[in-house]
Structure 1
């Protein structure tokens, strides 16, 4: 049985598949986590079967989102955050502070954060799929891409491929604040306020 497009114009199966791949989950891994058979989930992802709300809730939970992620329409107001109401969060044993800017709606590709970087902070080198843009709002950041080093000051911007090994630091004597935007998933926004978690902290920039 085929599904029909929802109010956002996207097929349910495509949304599930896109979210699964964004979470780097295999079909089998999602089946194991949700309790749904591989054959059935494969049919759902191809829009050849329509799950009940109960089954969809199991799939949503395994993907780290609420049921509304798949069945509710995204409104412009859902993506609006106010400076004085945007919560900050930090990881245990980390000196970085984050503010989440992007909205995690079905089909969204971007992640975006304000990073408050203390004096002397240095990340480890990482590489990954996707692309990133960093814009220095305040202070200075030293960004290393492969064998190139860039000293970025307020107003400077850098757009690069995440596949290039990169690391960054704040070598100055004042805190820095940067805007980071990228296509990789850095943080699952569902439950972030209670359980902030970044898989690999340095991937934030």
Structure 2
């Protein structure tokens, strides 16, 4: 409990994500339109993020980070494990500022690695944006229930269910229940690899093996509920 409170305090002590995005964008003399084009996000959505009127998912934040040529850990207090062995109850927990999703990092960084992996706790009522990206993902429901949309199809995943899919298919998910849902997420979408510094034309400056981040699409999940 004390560790969780300390992690929460560290998160709240960080500058707001929106302010960091705006400051870095202006430092690089980029307009909202230019950043939106580079990150493949709408100007309206970026404007909401910069004013802290919207909370990005980790994938969306990775898009913005790549467009600004920084690691996503520039915006969040991300753990940086030095060993591949992690123990239950001892892994650092973190979240994107303002988001109620809690992440626990499982994957380690080493030359040539392509996988990212997290334990995720998704609170009741949370719903993601719809995204698509290169690579692939595997989702395994450890506890609770998750509604997943994939290429326009809706499916309800319960404890023990899994899903493996190509990231270029438009996808989104939500927790419509009254209880938290715990997931094991693994994929080739680079999240916290700060060593990757791609240019805005999409080429990489190193051999980290990082994949391009998620891109938003105009495909919406088949649901009448509003996205949170």
Note if 1:145 corresponds to 2:150: yes
Larger radius of gyration: 1
Q: Distance in 2 between matches of 1:169 and 1:111?
A: 21
**Pair 115,83 (structure 1): closer, same or farther in 2 beyond 3 Å:** same
Deviations 1:66-118 (A, max 9, x none): xxxxxxxxxxx921001121010011111110000000111111000000000
Give the number of the structure with larger relative contact order, counting CA–CA contacts within 8 Å between residues 6 or more apart.
Answer: 2
Is the 2:132–2:215 contact (alpha carbons within 8 Å) kept by the matching residues of 1? Answer: no
Q: By how many angstroms is 1:63 displaced?
A: 7.9
Match of 1:107 in 2: 112
**Which structure 2 residues correspond to residues 1-205 of structure 1 after superposition, within 5 A?**
78-188=83-193
Is the 1:104–1:189 contact (alpha carbons within 8 Å) kept by the matching residues of 2? Answer: no
Q: Distance in 2 between matches of 1:184 and 1:106?
A: 16
Q: Distance in 2 between matches of 1:63 and 1:148?
A: 35
Provide the secondary structure at the position in 2 that maps to 1:78.
coil
- The CA RMSD measured in Å over matched residues stands at 2.3
Q: By how many angstroms is 1:148 displaced?
A: 0.9
Is the 1:98–1:115 contact (alpha carbons within 8 Å) kept by the matching residues of 2? Answer: yes
TM-score by length of 1: 0.55
Q: Distance in 1 between matches of 2:167 and 2:184?
A: 16
Q: By how many angstroms is 1:146 displaced?
A: 1.0
Q: Distance in 2 between matches of 1:105 and 1:63?
A: 19
Is the 2:147–2:173 contact (alpha carbons within 8 Å) kept by the matching residues of 1? Answer: yes
